[in-house]
Amino acid sequence: MTLKASSSTLSTDITYLTDREANAYSPLSLAFLGDSVYDTLVREHLLMKANMPVSKLHSAKIKLVCAEFQSDAYEKVAEQLSERELAVLKRGRNATGNTVPKHADAVQYRRATAIESLFGFLYITGRTERVRELFALIISDGEKAENG
């Protein structure tokens, strides 16, 4: 990514990678980026949904970014993916070297890492509209579970 600043504004020139270039990154590196992409979408979603105190926004965010929630979304997302996207998802799930936090089991954490890896891959290859489509699917399922 190349950032270029002018005297009056900060503009961003983003250079996206090809699939081949993105595949050169480890799934955990893609998940590193995907975690941020996913977290930003959650924050945007919550802010647009309601104007509420930051403490409530934070509590709601924690529920949507936890490994358990992302793991639950794994199957729903997998059903909607192209063959290429599914390969990225599986590569993220099978990544080794990540330590499992206390609040999640290994399977949940690997599946959450897979979602983040996919989001990172899609983002870095310029498929931001696809990221939003998949995020909408995940969030709509989460809201259904919350409401009923």
Task: Write the Ramachandran bin of 32: left for phi over 0, alpha for psi from -120 to 50, otherwise beta.
Answer: alpha
As a whole number of angstroms, the distance between CA 46 and CA 34 comes to: 18
CA 76, 78, 82, 84 dihedral sign is positive
| Cβ-based neighbours of 41, under 8 Å, separated by 6 or more | 131, 132, 135
Beta-sheet strands, E only, within 45-141: none
Is 39 in the active site?
Answer: no
As a whole number of angstroms, the distance between CA 8 and CA 88 comes to: 40
Q: Which of 13, 19, 35, 39 is catalytic?
A: 35
Query: Per DSSP, what are the bridge partners of residue 13?
Result: 2
120 burial via Cβ count (<10 Å: 0-12, 13-18, 19+): buried
The set of catalytic residues is 35
